[in-house]
Amino acid sequence: MARPPLEGVRILAVSQFGAGPFGTQVLADLGAEIIKIEDPAVGGDSARYVPPYLHEQDSLYFQSFNRGSKSLTLNLQHPAGRAVLHDLVKVSDALFNNVRGDLPARLGLTYEALKKVNPRIVCCSLSGFGANGPRASEPGFDYLIQGYAGYMGVTGEPDGPPGKCGVSVIDFAGGYAGMLGLMVGLFEAQRTGVGRDVDVSLLDTAVSMLSYFAMWTLNRDWQPERIADSGHQTLVPAQNFPTRDGWIVIFCNKDKFWQALAERMELPTLLQDPRFAGFPERLAHKTELVKILKARFAMKTTAEWLGLLRGHVPCAPVNSVAEALEDEQVRAREMVIEVEHPHFGRIREVASPIRTEGEIRRPAPAPSLGEHTEAILSGVLGYGSQTIARLRSEGAIGK
């Protein structure tokens, strides 16, 4: 079996809930050792207690973000706990956190605080709003950021209320951005021997993904709006269409696709109609064109239309989550893996998206609270049993 590409990389993670653990799990699947530092005073990561599927200090929600990591209970507010952290920093490559933006400096999780302990350490922070600015001290969550960053303002039907994306897209994008920043820091530290701070925020990530919406808004007199049937802001036809038994997604982002759509739908006269000759004309006459297409799409089932259009026009069904997980392409890419758990049994989970030689396809489940505390303190740091017992009695580590 090939060596995992990140084998030998040790990352300390003061991280909980969704965004941060989602990111570090990607690195764990590529072989990095993720030591998850959990506060015993509050029962560890709050994700352990998210319903509906719970068992003691564990949940399927927690399992979805933390497979392959190790759990160390450590009280960073305790002087002895901070001393343990410093010992771990000496033998680690990076320290990642996703605490509130004002807390890394207060908790001693920054490069400034740790460079004397290990000048190579990379300190990456993923917070809601970043380390500076008027909201640095506020907690930030995907729901809130979707409101702040304008996402809700362009999601939903025009005559309906603002909507959010059905999945936590900003949390997950933030996790990826955090890991990219962390790996850039590690790459530089490997070359120079000098670590750094990396500051990533959910709001910054969300705003960066506004992309061409931001470009048009900042440079022209343009305002995005909610478009009916999840339509594109400027491309026509590019939206959802109701079929006889469901919905189909059509995306004609090139003229050749529009031509193929009209031909495959047996609407050749549309290609001679000057109202629909090009993208500007189709946008100007969108109401008339969509009315014609909707009437035709309603005549066949989604499967029938996919059979006619797939391979000629960009199209897709509007799947349920269960249908998406059973899609033939998802199965072919082996995006569902199995993990053995001591209570939940065999858990089916979604894999990380990076395919490369050495990726871990049979990961360990997410750890129980403090499962690896003694093994890390003794095996990694060389602490004796008396030292570990003292730390436990003082409250620096969990019981």
Do the Cβ atoms of 228 and 215 come closer than 8 Å? Answer: no
- Of 283, 349, 373, which is closest to residue 38 (Cα–Cα)? 373
β-pair partners for 96: 13, 124
User: Per-residue DSSP letters for 216-257?
Assistant: HHHHSS------GGG--SS-SSEEEEE-SSSEEEEE--SHHH
- Of 298, 161, 292, 184, which is closest to residue 236 (Cα–Cα)? 292
Q: List the structure tokens of 60.
A: 């399927």
Q: What is the pLDDT of residue 41?
A: 92
The CA distance from 88 to 376, in Å, is 9
Burial degree of 50 (CB within 10 A; 0-12, 13-18, 19+)? middle
Amino acid at 27: L
Q: What is the DSSP letter of 16?
A: -
Nearby residues of 195 by Cβ (< 8 Å), 6 or more positions away: 111, 115, 118, 119, 120, 121, 122, 123, 185, 189
Amino acid at 33: E
Domains, in order of start, for the chain? 10-208+335-394 (3.40.50.10540), 229-242+247-317 (3.30.1540.10)
The CA distance from 233 to 251, in Å, is 12
- Angle among Cα 218, 221, 227 to the nearest 5 degrees reads 95
Q: What is the DSSP letter of 199?
A: E
Q: Between the CA of residue 248 and those of 188, 238, 255, 263, 324, what are the distances in Å?
A: 46, 11, 19, 17, 14
Work out the number of other CB atoms within 10 angstroms of the CB of residue 126: 30
- 3-class SS of residue 201: strand
Q: Please compute, for residue 83, the number of CA atoms within 13 A of its CA located in the half-sphere on the CB side.
A: 10
User: Strands 315-317, 247-251: parallel, antiparallel or unpaired by DSSP?
Assistant: antiparallel
The CA distance from 123 to 89, in Å, is 10
Q: What is the pLDDT of residue 286?
A: 97
Do the Cβ atoms of 25 and 365 come closer than 8 Å? Answer: no
Do the Cβ atoms of 226 and 215 come closer than 8 Å? Answer: no
Q: What is the pLDDT of residue 399?
A: 75
As averages over each run of 10 residues, the pLDDT of the chain (399 residues) reads 92 95 97 97 95 95 97 95 97 97 94 98 98 95 96 95 95 98 98 98 98 97 94 97 98 97 97 97 97 98 98 97 97 96 95 94 95 96 95 91
User: Strands 54-55, 58-59: parallel, antiparallel or unpaired by DSSP?
Assistant: antiparallel
Of the residues 171, 197, 199, 204, only one is catalytic, namely 171
The CA distance from 2 to 361, in Å, is 12
Q: Which secondary structure element, helix H or strand E, spans residue 170, and what is its range?
A: helix 169-192
Tokens 């090139």: give the residue. 254
Based on the residue annotation, tell me whether 171 is a catalytic residue of this protein: yes
User: Per-residue DSSP letters for 134-160?
Assistant: TTTTS---HHHHHHHTTTGGGSS-TTS
- Of 213, 212, 206, 204, which is closest to residue 154 (Cα–Cα)? 213
